[in-house]
Structure 1
Amino acid sequence: MSIWQKNRPFFLFLIKFGLSYLILSVLYWLYLNQYNAEANEADGMTTIVAEQSQDVALWLGQEAYITEHPEQPSYRFFINNKAVARVVEGCNAVSVMILFAAFVIAFSTTFKRTSLFILAGIVIIHILNVVRVALLSMGFYYYPEYKELMHDILFPLFIYGVVFALWVLWVMKISGYGKKH
């Protein structure tokens, strides 16, 4: 028995994951290239995340607003008239969504089931990310001494923990792989 035959599921996973990640990343790169970063133009998804995060902070009773950053393709996030954060392209969680989708595609089943789960997962990731940006901004205002801990450890742990839980749900319960293998 050849290595390919013996490890076929693993190699199929790698191929499907790699190709879908590559295709989705190239599509995202093409999307980003529509915007003029040299003219400090933030992409549309970053704009949506900044605006919705501002709305969450307002809903939580904060005096919050955003402004376009004058020198970067990003937004400045203000709490009580103090600039506390920048919302940059990396804050929009699209790269996390691409990673999530590529993994689900690698364990794909029917087109409908896979597509619906990816769509639901992306909505969940987006909502949690918007809340994350709002809470981080508030945390930066009220607890600036914990800025690195919040930004570099706690909130990434939270968002990647949710993605991991969604992957486990997909593989073990929804895709059917947990029952087959």
Structure 2
Amino acid sequence: MKKYKSIIIFLIKFFVTYFLLVTIYNSYLQHSQEKEGVYKTASITTLVADQTVKVLTFFGYNVEAIQHDKEVSVKLVIEGEYTARVIEGCNSISLIILFISFIIAFSGSFKATFLFAIFGSIFIYVVNVLRIAFLTVMIYKFPEQLGILHDLVFPAIIYGAIFLLWVVWVNKFSNLKK
């Protein structure tokens, strides 16, 4: 049993953190999304859509984000064409929860864990907004490639970024190194 102590501690810390953060997030979603006749996305999802619009506008595209009237999502309309939608799963919060749970499970000093969780979460959020912006343009220009872009290329970007952060964390800051 002593031989598996570090694995058991990792799993306990990971799952306790994960379920605590997921519970908080789900409570937030229940209070911030409406479905009964009026569709409204959570404010974080709307913010991601709005920031995606700002990125694309910066690059010269005519883009707008419009609350979908038939589902809980925000439509991204590029050059007058409904191209993509941002749903709750696109706002990166679920991925940030997974990231933070791993960081805490392999914790380092409190300061290092706290700062890496904050800055890593910001990095993931920014990469996600840029990923959605790029995906929107690619779907607009190459709609026939939607499946490959949405299902393969773009998950690889965000999961790859998270994996790299985890590698840096474990090798540079976690107590595992010590």
TM-score by length of 1: 0.94
Following superposition of structure 1 onto structure 2, how do residues 29-108 of structure 1 map, counting pairs within 5 Å? 29-35=26-32, 36-38=34-36, 39-108=38-107
Per the alignment, in what secondary structure is the counterpart of residue 85 of structure 2? strand
Following superposition of structure 1 onto structure 2, how do residues 138-157 of structure 1 map, counting pairs within 5 Å? 138-157=137-156
1:166 aligns with 2:165: yes
Instruction: Point out 4+ residue stretches in structure 1 off by more than 6 angstroms.
Output: none
In 1, are the aligned partners of 2:107 and 2:175 still within 8 Å (CA)? no
Residue 26 of structure 1: how far off its partner (Å)? 0.3
Residue 6 of structure 1: how far off its partner (Å)? 1.4
Residue 176 of structure 1: how far off its partner (Å)? 4.1
Question: Residue in 2 aligned with 1:12?
Answer: 9
Output the aligned Cα RMSD: 0.9
Residue 110 of structure 1: how far off its partner (Å)? 2.1
Per the alignment, in what secondary structure is the counterpart of residue 7 of structure 2? helix
Identity of aligned residues (%): 39
CA displacement 1:52-95 (0-9 Å, x = unmatched) = 00001111111111111111121110111000011111110110
Residue 177 of structure 1: how far off its partner (Å)? 1.9
Q: Give unmatched runs, 5+ long, in structure 2.
A: none
CA displacement 1:84-135 (0-9 Å, x = unmatched) = 0111111101100000000000011222211110000110001010011111
Q: Give unmatched runs, 5+ long, in structure 1.
A: none
TM-score by length of 2: 0.96
Cα distance in 1 between the residues matched to 2:147 and 2:157 = 15
Cα distance in 2 between the residues matched to 1:161 and 1:7 = 29
Per the alignment, in what secondary structure is the counterpart of residue 86 of structure 1? strand
Cα distance in 2 between the residues matched to 1:110 and 1:32 = 32
Residue 41 of structure 1: how far off its partner (Å)? 1.2
How many residue pairs get aligned? The number is 176
Residue 37 of structure 1: how far off its partner (Å)? 2.8
Q: Identify which range, 34-43 or 78-87, moves more after superposition.
A: 34-43
